[in-house]
Structure 1
Amino acid sequence: MASSSSVVYADVPSPLPPLPEKRIVVGFGGVGVDYLATVVTFPKPDDKIRSTSLKVQGGGNAGNALTSAARLGLTPRAISKLANDAPGRIVLEELEADGVDTSYIVVSEEGNSSFTYVIVDNETKTRTCIFTPGHPPMTPGDLSQSSLISALDGARLVYFDGRFPDTALVVAKEATCMQIPILIDAERKREGLDDLLNLADYVVCSAKFPQAWTTAPSIPSALVSMMLRLSHIKFVIVTLGEDGCIMLERSMNEPESKEIDVDSLLESLKLKIDGNELIPTCISSKSMMRLGAGLIGTVSGRLLVGTAEKIPPSELIDTTGAGDAFIGAILYAICAGMAPEKMLPFAAQVAAAGCRSLGARTGLPRRTDPRLDPFLR
């Protein structure tokens, strides 16, 4: 028998931090079904080709982001509209299976649920989407005041993807009255989006949106312009795919430092990035400063650059829904009170995990996924 001195104890990993105390998030926007087909290479006009694989699963920006948030441990509630058809039933079943509360989704007895054909090109690792909107669309009359109040009760955040703008504005105004912070996904210029942005506390943009919306000459100057036009936002993030992301965080205090050109600052931060680092990281300006963008103006804040995970080509399957996965992680990070330096790499890691499987939801990681462990502690 071995003596007690010879016993070897295996290292036991410390438990994850507790879940955020306030973790109810409400998501308003699009839910639907994705029909995903992979092909060897994208077809030319009038070609006939075969798919190499096919998957049918729930989609839609809000549906995907809330699924991401649910798997990370939040308690999401979805507000949207579907039809009582086969795709609609698929959507509800999948959301409920992931822990998303669907009791505030309006189900119409007529019309059709939204769906998207997604063609994934294995050669270029790109995806082409053909979207068919649901009908009839959601209108303010679909959501009673009592249901709206119930949906928002106890919520830490409300997220909008820009769909159903008339109804979204009703929800956003009520959230503002209840002093619930609002996060907007600014994927592209949409009808009614400006009204939502004027109520936003946080904005996450696609790569093309900031300059398209502001007409500024560069992304950094466009972020300064957005901060000046939207006086309530605490931060704005622009996602850049494999090039990571850029974040501008507002300062509530006016720094005494001299003005620094925001484009030059971005270039100096990029020089500090370790190009050999495989996992997501974040580089930030050291302190709050006056960031200038020429004739556009100046804001007080901090600039941060987040990198993306370097996914080996053999592991990169599909980027569908990567931005939605990123937003789901941002929702979690805000609820958990993560610092931006920790939030950006965490969100990048969640998005990268999803890119390793076909479809927006198949590869979304759960909170206990070992790949997230270093970013949660």
Structure 2
Amino acid sequence: MSSCSDEAIPGHPIVLGCGQLCLDYLVTVPYFPIPDQKIRGTSFKVQGGGNTGNALTCVARLGLDSRILAKVADDSQGRWMLEELESSGVDTSFCVTAKGGASHFNYVIVDNQTNTRTCIFTPGYPPLLPDDLTESLILSVLDGVRVLYANGRSREAELLLAQKAHSKNISILINAEKRREGLNELLDLADYAVCSTNFPQDWTEAKTAPSALLSMLIRLPKLKFVIMTLGEHGCMMLERCTIEVPESEEETDIDELHESLKQTTDFTSVLPVCNSSVVTRLAGNVTGRLVIVTAEKIPSSELIDTTGAGDAFTGALLYGLCTDMASEEMLTFASRVAACCCRGLGARTTLPFRNDPNLAAFLGA
């Protein structure tokens, strides 16, 4: 693993994440056990987890200032999680510590036979609530922030913070994994959204994935782009564009655009490739372009664990937004970072540092 670079990013952009922290107990097994069976694990690791903590660890390793607003219990697990984040360069000074309660934890079973992972989440208490966010805390934690990241797990507190961020013209990226109470209000404030494979169609009830992405841009006029992650198949992005197209240009069917784009995408490439459509007029008075990005093909001998790959992808997106990467570069960069994560056990073990040779093409390391 490469050591962390001390080189500062010009302008010192800050990423703020608000959400839950948890402790992951990870065990690898030769195959997934059947009920009432005893099985011997092949490796074991205890590591901090949670979408927000994982993504911010990625951001910090890539060289940006990152800070987290979360709540942990005053127990050994809570203290351990904060210390681990601090050791990775994440500012935890704004976190809230409950005098009682218990911290979140997660059992993760990694099946070496199928390269899958099964998560058993045990929620802790008490949750992060709006009453925990004093006016002075909110003003301090938002100071100097370029992008706010949230995912709706601490919905009321996240919404309050997002509303304040919106009033200060701070960009907001929402990670939408599944329908959650209060997530709609967060999406209304979002500048960017990164979604799980199933979320766009679940949320919009559209018949196809491309039409679901378009429906999201129509329903969320503030949204600049929406990304749908596809695991080993890469990702797809629909980006809203301000480029004017001739009024005489007919609307392009989003599904037909997707099919034509797939036909010209090199899905055989080992490294991620990006293929973009031209800017075109779409339904709902949206002008935009569709982008397909393939995933890196990881040899089976190197593929260890996919836990946290989506969080690594999101962390790289946050980096790209803060450093004004072009969309195509940002997406291929994020795919490479996610692939690095899959080469070790747990969400943070092999998250790359800024000077990782695998990222040299993007960061000049």
TM-score, normalised via structure 1 length: 0.92
Residue identity matched to 1:39 = V
- Which residue pairs with 1:311 in the alignment? 298
Q: Deviations over 1:228-280 (max 9, x none)?
A: 11010100000000100000110224422321111111111111122331111
Whole-Å Cα distance in 2 between the matches of residues 174 and 250 of structure 1? 24
- Which residue pairs with 1:170 in the alignment? 160
2:307 pairs with 1:320? yes
Alignment check: 8 A CA contact 1:16 1:376 kept: no
Residue identity matched to 2:250 = K
Residue identity matched to 1:108 = A
Structure 1 runs (4+) deviating above 2 angstroms are 15-20
2:68 pairs with 1:81? no
More deviation in 120-129 or 271-280? Answer: 271-280
Within-5 A mapping of 1:173-184: 173-184=163-174
* 1:180, distance to aligned residue in structure 2 (A): 0.4
1:372 maps to which of 346, 353, 359: 359
Within-5 A mapping of 1:251-270: 251-256=241-246, 257-270=249-262
Q: Deviations over 1:202-229 (max 9, x none)?
A: 0000001000000000110000000011
Alignment check: 8 A CA contact 1:22 1:156 kept: no
* 1:351, distance to aligned residue in structure 2 (A): 0.3
Q: Give the RMSD, CA atoms, in angstroms.
A: 1.5
Alignment check: 8 A CA contact 1:357 1:363 kept: yes
Alignment check: 8 A CA contact 1:345 1:375 kept: no
- Which residue pairs with 1:11 in the alignment? none
For the residue of structure 2 that corresponds to 1:66, the secondary structure is helix
Whole-Å Cα distance in 2 between the matches of residues 64 and 175 of structure 1? 22
Whole-Å Cα distance in 2 between the matches of residues 291 and 361 of structure 1? 39
- Which residue pairs with 2:273 in the alignment? 281
Whole-Å Cα distance in 2 between the matches of residues 275 and 225 of structure 1? 26
2:331 pairs with 1:344? yes
1:147 maps to which of 129, 137, 149: 137
Q: Deviations over 1:5-60 (max 9, x none)?
A: xxxxxxxxxx9997242420100001111000101111112222111111000000
Q: Deviations over 1:52-80 (max 9, x none)?
A: 11100000000000000000111011000
1:22–1:149 distance in 2 versus 1, CA, 3 Å: same
More deviation in 133-142 or 341-350? Answer: 133-142
2:27 pairs with 1:37? yes
- Which residue pairs with 2:230 in the alignment? 240
Whole-Å Cα distance in 1 between the matches of residues 350 and 151 of structure 2? 21
Whole-Å Cα distance in 2 between the matches of residues 207 and 90 of structure 1? 32
Residue identity matched to 1:299 = V
* 1:163, distance to aligned residue in structure 2 (A): 1.2
Alignment check: 8 A CA contact 1:224 1:298 kept: no
Greater Rg over alpha carbons, structure: 1
* 1:175, distance to aligned residue in structure 2 (A): 0.3
Whole-Å Cα distance in 1 between the matches of residues 275 and 281 of structure 2? 18
Alignment check: 8 A CA contact 1:22 1:335 kept: no
1:16–1:223 distance in 2 versus 1, CA, 3 Å: farther
1:259–1:64 distance in 2 versus 1, CA, 3 Å: same
Residue identity matched to 1:289 = T
* 1:376, distance to aligned residue in structure 2 (A): 2.7
Whole-Å Cα distance in 2 between the matches of residues 17 and 35 of structure 1? 33
Alignment check: 8 A CA contact 2:7 2:63 kept: no
Q: Deviations over 1:96-131 (max 9, x none)?
A: 001100011101110001010000000000000011
For the residue of structure 2 that corresponds to 1:157, the secondary structure is strand
* 1:368, distance to aligned residue in structure 2 (A): 0.4
2:286 pairs with 1:299? yes
Sequence identity percentage: 58
For the residue of structure 2 that corresponds to 1:103, the secondary structure is coil
Whole-Å Cα distance in 1 between the matches of residues 79 and 224 of structure 2? 38
For the residue of structure 2 that corresponds to 1:198, the secondary structure is helix
Number of residue-to-residue matches in the alignment: 358
For the residue of structure 1 that corresponds to 2:189, the secondary structure is coil
2:88 maps to which of 98, 118, 125: 98
Structure 2: tracts of 5 or more residues without a match: none
* 1:291, distance to aligned residue in structure 2 (A): 2.3
Structure 1: tracts of 5 or more residues without a match: 1-14
Residue identity matched to 1:145 = E
1:159 maps to which of 138, 149, 160: 149
* 1:298, distance to aligned residue in structure 2 (A): 4.9
2:167 pairs with 1:189? no
Whole-Å Cα distance in 2 between the matches of residues 146 and 18 of structure 1? 28
* 1:344, distance to aligned residue in structure 2 (A): 0.5
Alignment check: 8 A CA contact 1:306 1:344 kept: yes
Alignment check: 8 A CA contact 2:71 2:98 kept: yes
